[in-house]
Amino acid sequence: MNMEPRHFGEFILKEIDGFSRGERMVTGGLYPVGTVLGEITATKQLTALNPTADDGSKKAVAILMGITDARTDDQKAVVIEQLTTVRKADLEWPTGITDEQKETALNELKEKFIIAR
């Protein structure tokens, strides 16, 4: 069975035009649509959420809108930063994340008024 990748922003249920999205620099990997992102404190760049990191990326701050390849070079990408309702089942999490770590990340996103249903 061949599955089509998710489309740009497919995880969004509702957003506020002109307020929900932003452009940010993304680093460190090949990320699918809906990847939950953390921010590296020193560089302010976004990377995949890492609940055990000590570089700042353990706190969820945004969700990636489209597939982004930042394996060799940092890339500018569109992200959801605030004021959005998203489909929880469509979010992409790091391998090995626990349910407790997911709940923590979802609560961190709630602080930015990103609500997962």
Q: What's the CATH number where 41 sits?
A: 2.40.300.10
* Structure-model confidence comparison of residues 5 and 18, the more confident one: 18
- The residue range of the domain holding 67 is 12-116
- For 43-94, how does the pLDDT look when each residue is reduced to its tens digit (9 = 90+)? 999 999 999 999 999 999 999 999 999 999 999 999 999 999 999 999 999 9
Query: How many domains, the chain?
Result: 1
Quote the percentage of the chain above a pLDDT of 90.
90
Does the pLDDT value for residue 3 go beyond 60? no
In a domain, 2, yes or no: no
- For 10-55, how does the pLDDT look when each residue is reduced to its tens digit (9 = 90+)? 899 999 988 999 999 999 999 999 999 999 999 999 999 999 999 9
In a domain, 6, yes or no: no
In a domain, 5, yes or no: no
In a domain, 47, yes or no: yes
Within the chain, strands assigned E span 12-15, 21-26, 30-31, 36-39, 46-48, 60-64, 68-69, 75-80, 84-86, 114-116
| Average confidence score pLDDT of the chain | 95
